[in-house]
């Protein structure tokens, strides 16, 4: 169980946006966050990751408190059991594919998992190459595998496929769904792509001016807009 209560005054194009979020996630949930640009979608992920300090609230993940404004507790990102994949691949250019994955290991343990993940994303033959020679889709596969390496309690996906072509997006969606199932993850996906959200998520949060305007089935929501 993940309990999230976050309050943060954000700066929008037309002025301040008071972000208020109060939700619970069950283990295994795959949740989409949808809404216009500037509504605060990415800010939610950044606060959950510990990259942005909320004004108040708390985050509790499987009984562990990551953030609590009342007790002034704010775990650093490295202490939060998360995986995060951005639109930008954020790979280390001076490291090989294998080294990028090994770097994310806790104390360099479980090297067998590195080989398992390399096999899963079809990158064993390129394991000793550096990211500079990889295609965008290959880089994003490596970024996804790196997010899996610590077996995260929470996987955060921030528009991870928006820079890729349609066929590559479909391929990567399958990888993400497979990892979500195989690793028994709880996953939050921020996306502007309605088709992607309908295909991948089971629950949809629609963010409007910092508040949840809809919380329910994604297929039903988008059908109501047609």
119 lies in some domain: yes
Query: Is 28 within a domain?
Result: no
Residue 91 per-residue DSSP state: -
- Residue 137 in domain: yes
Give the residue, 29 or 169, on which the prediction is more confident.
29
Residues in a beta bridge with 2: 25, 61
Task: Please state the separation of Cα 86 from the chain's center in Å.
Answer: 7
Query: In the sheet where 56-61 sits, what is the strand order?
Result: 15-25, 2-12, 56-61, 64-68, 73-74
pTM: 0.91
The confidence band for 107, taking pLDDT boundaries of 50, 70 and 90, is: low
Q: Cα–chain-centroid distance for residue 125? A: 27
Look at residue 51 and tell me if it is in a domain: no
| Domain housing 97 | 92-150
Which pLDDT tens digit goes with each residue over 108-131? 566 788 998 999 898 999 999 999
Residue 170 lies in a domain: no
Residue 168's pLDDT is 82
pLDDT recorded at residue 45: 95
Gap between the Cα atoms of 1 and 34, Å rounded: 22
Q: How many domains does the chain have?
A: 1
Residues contacting 96, CB < 8 A, separation 6+? 127, 128, 129, 130
DSSP 202: S
In a domain, 113, yes or no: yes
**Given pLDDT bands bounded at 50, 70 and 90, which one contains residue 150?**
confident
In a domain, 74, yes or no: no
In a domain, 45, yes or no: no
């Amino acid at each position: 169980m993940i309990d999230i209560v976050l309050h943060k005054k954000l700066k929008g194009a037309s002025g301040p946006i008071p972000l208020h979020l109060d939700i619970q996630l069950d283990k295994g949930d795959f949740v989409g966050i949808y809404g216009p640009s500037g509504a605060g979608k990415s800010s939610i992920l950044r606060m959950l990751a510990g990259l942005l300090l909320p004004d108040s609230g708390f985050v509790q993940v499987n009984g562990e408190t990551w953030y609590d404004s009342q007790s002034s507790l704010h775990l650093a990102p490295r202490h939060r059991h998360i995986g995060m994949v951005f639109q930008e691949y954020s790979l280390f250019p001076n490291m090989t594919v294998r080294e990028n994955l090994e770097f994310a290991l806790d104390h360099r343990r479980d090297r067998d998992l590195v080989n398992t993940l390399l096999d899963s994303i079809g990158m064993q033959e390129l394991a000793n190459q550096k990211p500079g020679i990889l295609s965008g889709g290959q880089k994003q596969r490596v970024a996804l595998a790196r997010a899996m390496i610590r077996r995260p309690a929470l996987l955060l996906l921030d528009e991870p496929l928006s820079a890729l072509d349609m066929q590559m997006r479909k391929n990567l969606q399958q990888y993400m769904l497979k990892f979500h199932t195989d690793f028994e993850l709880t996953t939050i996906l921020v996306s502007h792509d309605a088709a992607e959200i309908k295909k991948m998520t089971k629950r949809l949060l629609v963010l409007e001016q910092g508040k949840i305007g809809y919380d329910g089935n994604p297929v039903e929501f988008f059908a109501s807009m047609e």
